[in-house]
Amino acid sequence: MTLDLFPTYRGCMEYFCLGCGQRFPTDELHYTCPECGGVFLLDNILFDELKKTPGTKWRELFDSRAASKRTALRGIFRFYELMAPVLEEEDIIYLGEGNTPIIESSPSLNSQTGLKTAYKNDGQNPSASFKDRGMACGFSYLRSLIRQHDWDQVLTVCASTGDTSAAAALYASYVGDAIKSVVILPHGKVTPAQLAQPLGSGAIVLEVPGVFDDCMKVVEHLADNYRVALLNSKNAWRILGQESYAFECAQWFNWDLKDKCIFVPIGNAGNITAIMAGFLKLHTLDIITNLPRIFGVQSHHADPVYRYYAVDDPNEREYAPVTVSPSVAQAAMIGNPVSFPRVKYFAEKFETIGGKGSFQVIQVSEQQIMDSMIQANRNGHIACTQGGESFAGAKRALELNLVSANELCVLDSTAHQLKFVDFQNMYFDNSFPPEFEIKPDTTLSNKPTLVISPEEKDGLSDADYTRITADKVVAKLGLKKK
Ligand SMILES: *Cc1c(COP(=O)(O)O)cnc(C)c1O
Ligand SMILES: [Zn+2]
């Protein structure tokens, strides 16, 4: 296993339906099960071959690949054999996704919370959210299909709370003519930055009234009746790509996940599925010996997964979609998560190995989400509102005695702070519509101050302008002469 060579191992991927258990080959585009409509997982039926290599060897290989200059191995496909080992090097699209850093909270922030936290900044992906991980895998697979079938154009479609469309449009625009990207957004329910992204990438942007769940129904109708490639997280290739988050966490901590708790906001539940699946894969191959503990986090305004797991006895649990209320964790504001069956599937496996308490779901309030995001970012982080949700989840877990101060809470900031500045502004201006149920701490309010007005500047010489402005700054800050 030499550094920098493209891997020679090839697996054989099949779709595996969580509804009826049937399997389907992956040389055709499938979105959901053609037999029962269930959601798929992707299964490498030659996975057992990988068990012949000891865990230590895998760790060495992945560590050596961390220094690779080969672009196909620099992103999520550093973990090629665990990802989609059917792709050829020419299929793999690398736009700089993955390998996002884990930043430990400052001692000052930790002393405020009594927790030990760190953020994995998935907002440092190319389109500024974790969705790039899944798209890199999904689009690489599409490229391999296009190459093998000689297709001339594929139309990709997705519904989005903002970030899926930004990522899909970015990857589609890189591939060029072979792929045309259409995104369907809930009108007025994505931030200006998230709307600007697919527009800037040249995607066809269609808006519909309603919330994400309404967009999703339209998209599913299209997928059932027309030849389009759907890029929502029902698409199992995206889940596969998002497993890289787990692989990177493990590698960052030198493959030792003892006393690590991973906090993940849940929307459509694709990401938490992928993260659990990824850690389980590492465990099966002896690459890690301890599973971390996984905490899903949901807002009280969109919490169907929390409600399900809030019932302690597994036999009494009943899944029911909820009607969502406005949430600052807008990207997770989903009442009927499509990946719920996947969560159930992996949570059970997780608990079998990790024991009771290795998978849990925490509920937090909108207030706690906003306060936590503001607090994190005033202490050196770049958390989005969903990242605030992760942090709020960790604090809530401490309150409930579910974590202790000697564990490290790794918080997923699923997007970049800058995508969600409008919520920060509402916090600073105290202008949240009542349905958010958020009363900002106005002592944290932060606004720019205009030092000198354009009228005052008018007619001043350059020298006067500099002196007068500087004097005003001095007066404002109370500066002493040196
Ligand atoms: C999509 C998204 C989520 C929700 O992830 P799911 O996989 O749908 O649970 C959370 N945060 C951000 C920023 C997202 O873009
Ligand atoms: Zn099925």
Q: What pLDDT score does 160 carry? A: 87
For the chain, the straight-line distance linking the first and the last C-alpha, in angstroms and rounded, comes to 62
Residue 56, CA distances (Å) to 60, 78, 85 in order: 6, 16, 20
Q: Which ligand is nearest to the CA of 327?
A: 1
Q: Which ligand is nearest to the CA of 134?
A: 1
d(CA 300, CA 213): 17
- Residue 176: left (phi > 0), alpha (psi -120 to 50), or beta? left
Kind and range of the H or E element at 223? helix 212-225
pLDDT in tens, 383-409: 999 999 999 999 999 999 999 999 999
d(CA 449, ligand 1 centre) in Å: 35
Quickly count helices (H) and strands (E) in the chain.
Answer: 16, 13
Tens digits of pLDDT across the chain (482 residues): 455 689 999 999 999 999 999 999 999 888 899 999 999 999 999 999 999 999 999 999 999 999 999 999 999 999 999 999 999 999 999 999 999 999 999 999 999 999 999 999 999 999 999 999 999 999 999 999 999 999 888 999 999 888 999 999 999 999 999 999 999 999 988 888 889 999 999 999 999 999 888 898 999 898 888 888 999 889 999 999 999 999 999 999 999 999 999 999 999 999 999 999 999 999 999 999 999 999 999 999 999 999 999 999 999 999 999 999 999 999 999 999 999 999 999 999 999 999 999 999 999 999 999 999 999 999 999 999 999 999 999 999 999 999 999 999 999 999 999 999 999 999 999 999 999 999 999 999 999 999 999 999 999 999 999 999 999 999 999 999 99
Q: Which ligand is nearest to the CA of 22?
A: 2
Q: Do residues 192 and 422 lie in contact, with contact meaning Cβ atoms separated by under 8 Å?
A: yes
What are φ and ψ of residue 263, in 5° steps?
-105, 125
Q: Do residues 106 and 127 lie in contact, with contact meaning Cβ atoms separated by under 8 Å?
A: no
d(CA 148, ligand 1 centre) in Å: 32
Angle 98-262-126 from CA coordinates, rounded to 5°: 20
Beta bridge partners of 359: 294
d(CA 178, ligand 2 centre) in Å: 30
Q: What pLDDT score does 477 carry? A: 96
Atom nearest to 271 CA in ligand 1: 7
Beta bridge partners of 154: 179
What are φ and ψ of residue 357, in 5° steps?
90, -5
Kind and range of the H or E element at 162? none
Atom nearest to 274 CA in ligand 1: 7
Atom nearest to 268 CA in ligand 1: 8
Nearest CA to ligand 1 atom 1: 331
pTM: 0.96
Q: What share of the chain is helix, strand, coil (3-state, %, to 5)?
A: 45, 15, 40
Dihedral angle sign, alpha carbons of residues 206, 212, 198, 188: positive
> Per-residue b/e over 194-213, b at no fewer than 16 CB within 10 Å?
bbebbeebebebeebeebbb
Please provide the size of the chain in residues: 482
State both tokens at 473: 């700054």
Q: Which ligand is nearest to the CA of 35?
A: 2
Ligand 1 interacting residues, C-beta cut-off 6 A = 129, 131, 163, 233, 265-271, 331-332, 384, 386, 414-415
d(CA 161, CA 329): 10
Q: What pLDDT score does 152 carry? A: 86
Atom nearest to 269 CA in ligand 1: 9
Q: What pLDDT score does 4 carry? A: 66
For residue 251, what are the contacts with CB-CB under 8 A and spacing of at least 6? 62, 63, 66
Q: What pLDDT score does 2 carry? A: 52
d(CA 24, ligand 2 centre) in Å: 10
d(CA 243, ligand 1 centre) in Å: 14
- Residue with tokens 């936290």, as numbered in its chain: 117
Q: What pLDDT score does 29 carry? A: 86
d(CA 32, ligand 2 centre) in Å: 8
Helix axes 163-175, 192-200, angle to 10 degrees: 10
Q: Candidates 191, 268, 342: which one to mutate for ligand 1, based on the most atoms within 8 Å of Cβ?
A: 268
Q: What pLDDT score does 293 carry? A: 98
- Residue with tokens 């807008």, as numbered in its chain: 330
